[in-house]
Chains A and B, each alone.
Chain A
Amino acid sequence: MSTILIIFCVLAAVSIATAFLAIFSRNPIHSALWLVICFFSIAGHYLLLNSQFLAIVHIIVYSGAIMILFLFTIMLMNLNKENEVHKPRITRLGAIVSFCLICIVLILVFINSKPIVGEYITTGEDYQSIKVLGKVLLNEYMVPFEFASILLLVAMIGTVLLSKKEKTEK
């Protein structure tokens, strides 16, 4: 068992365990913090796959921006009390059964599908440094890149409009 495989197993165990803990914690703030650890371990996977820029962007966007947004919303609504009513028992049982079924079926499908034979290709050329990624992003994917900026602008305006207090009612 090589070192890289051990690192992969540890990271995978951490991400799966923290994802479960994020779902099962009663307190929303605790589950947000577990989710931060989960995102960090996924960034570790990206580093393991040698895509450093993506790992940094993932940490900045997910663990930084999105989780701050979540925590801010939780504190704004004052939800850090553990007073949530559970779903009825039959619904929770159905959720657990469907989780086990979908997991088993998908994993069995992937095990029984045609296995990959032989070695993985190694072209040796650079394909994931910031230089190459920037060239691909701004040459071949120029139009989607611009549309992403429009999407972000529209999302920003929509958020401001949605969270503004309505004054016309009173």
Chain B
Amino acid sequence: MNNILNEIGIENYIFLSTILFCIGVFGVLYRRNAIIVFMSIEIMLNAVNLLFVAFSTYHQDAQGQIFVFFSMAVAAAEVAVGLAILVSIFRNLGSIDINNLKNLKG
């Protein structure tokens, strides 16, 4: 069985996940809607997972994929708790604009 990276190259995967990660950072900086900010965080997590799988193929080793499983479990927990926090923020403030969350400002 041939290594698939002979045809694509690990550099292309590095560039792709770099661009996806930067898109995630851009989304966090650009939008005010807290749900879109969460989605951007998901994009960043996925970029890192993609690179893990690519390097798992590069080293011909299963450990990278195992790490992706744990990262998926953490992402699922994070989204559940984060959305619950968003719902309670929406109940208290009436909006999820992140510029309204200034109560901790000194």
Contact = CB atoms under 8 A, between A and B. Distances in A.
Main SS at interface, chain B: helix
A57 interface: yes
Interface residues of A, number: 83
Contact of B72 (A61, A96, A154): A61
Contact of B85 (A22, A32, A132, A162): A162
| Interface magnitude class on chain B | 35 or more
Contacts of B68: 54
A90 interface: no
Contacts, number: 220
Q: Which of A45, A50, A65, A137 is packed against the most chain B CB atoms within 10 Å?
A: A45
B29 A99 contact: yes
A73 B36 CA distance: 12
B22 to A, nearest CB: 4
Interface of B: 1-8, 10-12, 14-16, 18-20, 22-27, 29-33, 35-36, 38-40, 42-43, 46, 49-50, 53-54, 56-63, 65-66, 68-70, 72-81, 83-88, 90-91, 96-97, 99
Given A42-B49, A120-B5, 19 more contacts: A16-B19, A16-B23, A19-B23, A23-B26, A31-B39, A38-B46, A46-B53, A49-B54, A66-B76, A66-B79, A70-B35, A73-B87, A99-B26, A111-B11, A119-B3, A125-B60, A127-B60, A128-B62, A159-B84
Interface of A: 2, 4-5, 8, 12, 15-16, 19-20, 22-23, 28, 31-32, 35, 38-39, 42, 45-46, 48-51, 54, 57-58, 61-62, 65-66, 69-70, 73-74, 76-77, 79, 84-87, 91-92, 94-96, 98-99, 102-103, 106-107, 110-111, 115-116, 119-125, 127-128, 132-133, 136-137, 141, 144, 148, 151-152, 154-156, 158-159, 162-163, 165
